[in-house]
Every structure is written in structure tokens, then in C-alpha cells.
A and B are shown apart, each in its own frame.
Chain A
Amino acid sequence: MRYTLFLYSDETAFADATPEDMDQALRVFGDYINQLKEAGVFVDTDWLQPSATATTITKVGGERKIQDGPYADTKEQLGGTFVIDVPDLDAAMAWAEKCPSVHYGHVEVRASAMPKGGNPYAG
């Protein structure tokens, strides 16, 4: 089963991070990625630009609305994702618990809704 880990954290906490801090953060995430790969559960990951650069599009009500900003204005923003392929939610939670950002934010785990073999309507 494919699961996506959503990494929520408070962006303002990174405002005064030094280049050394960033280096070390890249290293621990690199270690985590390597461990996911070694376990054969890694599918994909991405590191997202700050939420201030987000654009939210909606067509609720029929008309297209473009909002300059994230969809919800809470203290924690989506900062990254991991897509992993593991047998069940228990295993997905074991890996979510090990994700570096679990220490300074929340990681949301969601199962994929994509039909097996990918989106049948995708080109």
C-alpha cells in the first residue's frame, strides 16, 4: 500500500537557521532517505518552498478562484512530503515516527487513493 507522509512544521523557527544548521538538516534527512531506500519502501520525496509562495486554486461554486497563499492559515505549514510503499498503516506509522521533522512538527500519514497501477485516466 502506498502512503504519503505530510510534514507540517512552524516555518518561522527556521528563520535564524545558519548554513551549518541547514547542512546538518540535509544530512539527517539524507540519512532518513537512505534508510527508507535500504528498506525498499521509498517512493518519492519533495522539499517544498515556504507556504508564503503557495498558490491555492479552487473551483468550489463553479468559478475558478486563485488564492495567493496556503489553503489554511495555521501555525504549521506543509513543508515536505514522503511517499512510501509499505504493507499497512502500522508500518507507515513506524517510518513516520522516525522522520526527522516529527521532532519539530507533525507528520500526517495518508493512504493513497490512487487505483493500483496508477491513474487510469492519466495520459
Chain B
Amino acid sequence: MTPVNQPKDPRAKAALIARESYGRLVAILASRTSDIAAAEDVLADAFTKAMEKWPKEGIPQNPEGWLITVATNRMKDIAKSGHSRTYGGSLEDVYMPLSDGSGLNNLSPDEIPDERLRLMFTCAHPALTSSIHTPLMMQTVLGFEVADIASAYLMPSATLAQRLVRAKRKIKDAGIPFTLPEQADMTPRLTAVLEAVYGAYALNWDQQDLDRTKDMASEATYLASVIADLLPEEPEALGLAALLAFSLARRDARQDQTNGFIPLEMQDTSKWDRMLIRRGNVLLERAVNLGSPARFQLEALIQSLHMSRANTGQTDWLQIVQVYDALIQIAPTTGAAIARAAAVAKAHGFEAGLRALDTVHQLASKADLNHLQPYWATKAHLMRQKGDTPEARKGYEKAISLTTDTSVRIWLEKEMETAAAKD
């Protein structure tokens, strides 16, 4: 490996590794003991040691291997010193990477096995409550601080920290294995992993600290492409990576100067990231060629059709409706049905749109409908096109009352004003 643009400063180098390789290192250290907490502890020690030694002795040729070696030795020390609450019986396995005598120190980084996928399958194991999958992955695979993850959920960090500790203890004590699922089990297990990554992406965009959530979104997108690289034959893994690439491509086009939300079809395409769009299309094409369409691929396909407006200047609503039809066949959700109704209105006019919106009643009870903000926002838009200002106003008011996201509320309030002004 020829180092290109590598920082010369040892501290900067350690920080870069912490960012890029944290999950790989935790995964290797935890994969043999199933003890994620211990792996994180010894890795933190190893980073502290690197900060002391590298400035004096220079950056080692293979910094990741150096860190793994130091961390593994530390595990050995803890085990020997007796308070080995953590590694019962599998200690020999801990040394495995070093068993050839030379140690990982001499391996090139490319030869260090990538165990992140196993770590992700462990984090999203069905024996763990699904609400902890995403936070656990963000902490162990992406290296986010608990406080940052907790803030994104509007949750005190002490609460989240307790839950993470509990989940890691369960992984160790209940013996949740660090293995890839059998082929028969792959689809449901992979779905849980992909949902968790998607969850990290979809986290509270309405935070005070937008930079931090933007950072989480791009890290989640990165994670999705790691999975796609490691499982290149899994169409949904490719589909999610494509979907997140498209979505991330639009992040600078989503808000106006007043922080108001801008819906996809109104966005300035010159603010879309062309590189990410290209990457999304490559991933999607690979997924589609595998010939087994499913939810993430279809959602990515809808996004892809929207994004082609950047080249053609037009949106093919007819085709978008067709893909929504296929999506609802596979995964009938209220969200998809509402989005389909909006697309139907674009393709065939507001009356057809309103009829399509009525199909949402088949998927949700009246009480549930009263909590569905997108339903009321869509209904308001269509009523406005119909010229029914009172109904439009009612819809907007209901949608606004259900909106806790600031930028969406700013947008809806503007829409309601415009609707009233035309009356």
C-alpha cells in the first residue's frame, strides 16, 4: 500500500484510524470472545498508547495491526491478572491472529480480516430488542459517542448507555454468536441489519446540531456501501446502498434559506451531488441484474427516476406510479400508499390522486389515520388543486398540528398561506 495523502502527524493519523478503522478493529477483537465491551475497552487503551508512543517512535508501518497487537496483548494481561470477568475459556482464540508468530504487525491493512459484517449481524440479532439494533451498530461499528447517539434520539445518554451495556452483556452471556447467518436464514437476518442502517440514516434531521446529524447520515451511507461490498450478491444490500446514496445526494437541496423543507420535485437539481447519483445508479443496476426485486430496490428505483430530472428536466410520473404499484404489492405500508397517491395525482390529475388517497383507508383505521401527518399534508395539497380551500385549510391545519419537525412545519405553513391567498 502506498500511503497517499496520509497525515504525517501521529495524532492526526491516530484520529484518522479511529474514524476509518474503529469498527474493523472492534469487530476483530470482539469476534473471538463475543465481548464487545471488553473489545472497546482494550482498543481505547491501545489508542491511548498510540498517542504516547507514535509521536516518539514514529507511526508504525501498519498502524491498524499495531493497535490490534497492543489491544490483544492487553486482553491477555487482563485475563492473566485474574479479573477475567470477560474471557471464559476462549482465550486461545483471542491470540489467534498472532499465532503465526509474526503478529498482525506485519500484515498489510488489506490482509486484516474484515469482521464488521459479523459484528453487524450480532448487533441486529433477533434476540436483541429491535430498538437497540441501530444505536448498538452506531456505537460499535461506527464509533459514535453515546451522548451523540442519545441526542439524535432526544434521549438522556444515561438511559441509552444502560441499554447498550445491557445489550452487550446479553450478547456475551447469552452466547449470541459472531457468525454470518445460514443461507436459509439470510434474508430475514439481513433485513434486520439493513433496517438498522436505514434507522441510522433516518435519525432526527431536525436536530439543533445539523452538522452532527449530517455526519451520521453519511456514516450510515458508508455502512450501507460496506455491506454492499461484502455481500455483492445480495440485491437488497445493493438496493439500500443505492437508496441512501440517492438520498444523501440531495441533502444540500432539501432546505431553503428560511430552513423550510423543499419537496423532491421542487428541488434545485444543480444542488444534487452527481457523484453520489452515479454511484447510486451503478449499485441499483447491479441489484436489478440479480433479478429479485424487493423493498429497498424499488424505493431506490423510485428515487432514481426522480433523480433523472437532473438530466432530462422532466419527471416520469407514470413510471413512478408503476414502481409504487409494485412496491405496494410487496410491502403494503401507509407511507407507500400515500406517496403513490401523490404520484398518481401528478400523472393523472388531482381527482385520480384523491381516489388513490382513499385506498389508504384500507391500510389504516380511522384512529390511525388521525396520526398520519403525510396523509393530511397530501390531502391538503390535492384539495387545494381541486379548488376546495376550506378542505385544504383543514388538511394543512391537521398536518401542521401533527408535525414535530421544524423545517416541514415551515413549509406546510407557507403552503397553507399560499392556498388561502388564492381563495
Size of A's binding interface in residues, CB under 8 A? 29
Q: Flag the segment in B64-72, B83-91, B152-160 that touches A.
A: B152-160
Q: Determine, out of B24-32, B292-300, B400-408, the stretch whose residues face the partner at the interface.
A: B400-408
Task: Tell me if B162 is interfacial: C-beta within 8 Å of chain A.
Answer: yes
Residues on B with beta carbons closer than 8 Å to the beta carbon of A38: 406, 409
Cβ contact of B406, chosen from A27, A28, A35, A94, cutoff 8 A: A35
Q: Give A52-111 interface residues, CB cut-off 8 Å to B.
A: 86-88, 90-91, 93-95, 98-100, 103-104
**Interface of chain B: mostly helix, strand, loop or mixed:** helix
Residue A47 at the chain B interface, CB threshold 8 Å: no
Pick from B155, B162, B207 the residue with the most CB of A within 10 Å: B155
Nearest A residue to B406, CB-CB: A38
Out of A14, A28, A95, A100, which one reaches B404, CB within 8 Å? A95
Known: A27-B151, A90-B370. A35 touches B156 (CB 8 A): no
Residues of A contacting B153 in the complex (Cβ-Cβ under 8 angstroms) = 103
Nearest chain A residue, comparing its CB with the CB of B404:
A98
Measured in the bound complex, the distance between the Cα atoms of B159 and A17 in whole Å is 9
- The residues of A that contact B406 with a CB separation of less than 8 Å are 35, 38-39
Inter-subunit contact B156/A21 (CB<8 Å): yes
Cβ-defined contact, B156 with A94, below 8 A = no
List residues 134-162 of chain B with CB under 8 A from any CB of chain A. Answer: 147, 150-151, 153-162
B271 neighbours in A (Cβ, 8 Å): none
- For B365, the chain A residues whose CB sits under 8 A away are none
CB of A24 within 8 Å of the partner chain: yes
A42 located at the interface, meaning its Cβ lies under 8 Å from any Cβ of chain B in the complex:
no
Residues on the A chain within 8 Å of B162, using CB:
13
Give chain A nearest CB distance to B58 CB in angstroms: 35
CB contact under 8 A between A86 and B401, given known A21-B157, A28-B154: yes
Q: Is B386 an interface residue (CB 8 A)?
A: no
User: B397 at interface (Cβ–Cβ under 8 A)?
Assistant: yes
Candidates A25, A34, A94; contact of B158 at CB < 8 Å? A25
